[in-house]
Amino acid sequence: MDTVLYRFLTEVPQAAAIWSALLLLALTVLTVLIARPERDRPTNEESRAPTARELAAVEAADLRRYAEEVAVAAAGAAQTARRRRADWLAAQETAERAWAGYEEADRAARRFAGAGSLPTPRTPRSPTEYAARERYLHRAAMAAHWRGDLSMRQLTDVFAHRNGWDPRRHPVEQEVLLSRAVRDGKLAEHRAAAERERSTWRDAELAAEAARTLAEEAYAAAARLRPVRVPVRPAATAAARPATAARWRPARVG
């Protein structure tokens, strides 16, 4: 009985001290929260609605940023249009050179065609003669290739004796065939160059149209940044001429 009474007398004050400390801490925190309510409530700057001036400033910043972006895009489109036009002019010059080469090859083929209508000279049909004809064909084909008149594929056909290339033909006949091959090759080059010229022209037109559209949009965006200037009339003048003042309207922006 004495032991229980002793423990009660010694432990109860300790528990009371702990609970008193906890209660004091809770009261302190509550006092701080009550004294500083602005931490839990939004400030006036955060709670109030933006003013018309602030909204106008935000809108002006957006317009300025958009105008800068459109201006950069317009400058890039203009540069692309200039590059596409330069490509078209180069392709046009290439097509004109190809056409001139075809006309020259066609005139040469016509001259050789007239010579080919004559009877071929009679030569002895011997292995030496055929070997000489083959050498002549190969030399003429190589010379035409180095001049740029025969492509590598056509030269390969000559040395492989295919697609009508017969080394046993007379050199006059070989010249006629060679001139026709050159003419056909030049015609194919001209057709390819003409197609390339048409393609680059279409690209140049599309690039020019895109550049014009972006330039107009950049100008409109820049115009929207400029404030509208409304002329101020004196009160006496406005009262004396109300009809004139009524007919006046501010200029439209963009």
pLDDT of res. 168: 83
Indicate the length of the chain as a whole number: 254
Judge whether residue 153 has pLDDT over 90. no
Distance CA 163, CA 177 (A): 11
Judge whether residue 251 has pLDDT over 50. no
pLDDT of res. 19: 64
pLDDT of res. 91: 94
pLDDT of res. 230: 39
Judge whether residue 15 has pLDDT over 70. no
**Where does residue 217 rank: exposed (0-12), middle (13-18), buried (19+ CB within 10 A)?**
middle
Helix axes 171-225, 127-147, angle to 10 degrees: 20
Residues 203, 165 contacting (CB under 8 angstroms): no
C-alpha to C-alpha distances, 155 to 110, 113, 125, 185, nearest whole angstrom: 22, 21, 26, 12
Q: What is the pLDDT of residues 95-127, one digit of tens each?
A: 999 999 999 999 888 887 665 555 555 666 678
* Mean pLDDT over each residue of the chain, to the nearest integer: 76
pLDDT of res. 120: 57
Mean pLDDT value of segment 134-154: 87
Residues 74, 210 contacting (CB under 8 angstroms): no
Q: What is the pLDDT of residues 211-244, one digit of tens each?
A: 999 999 989 888 887 764 434 444 444 444 444 3
Among 192, 181, 193, 106, residue whose Cα is nearest residue 144: 181
Q: With cut-offs at 50, 70 and 90, classify the pLDDT of residue 37.
A: low
pLDDT of res. 237: 41
Judge whether residue 31 has pLDDT over 90. no
Judge whether residue 180 has pLDDT over 70. yes
Mean pLDDT value of segment 128-157: 86
Q: What are the domain boundaries of the chain?
A: 53-224
Distance CA 141, CA 158 (A): 7
Q: What is the pLDDT of residues 59-95, one digit of tens each?
A: 778 888 888 888 899 999 999 999 999 999 999 999 9
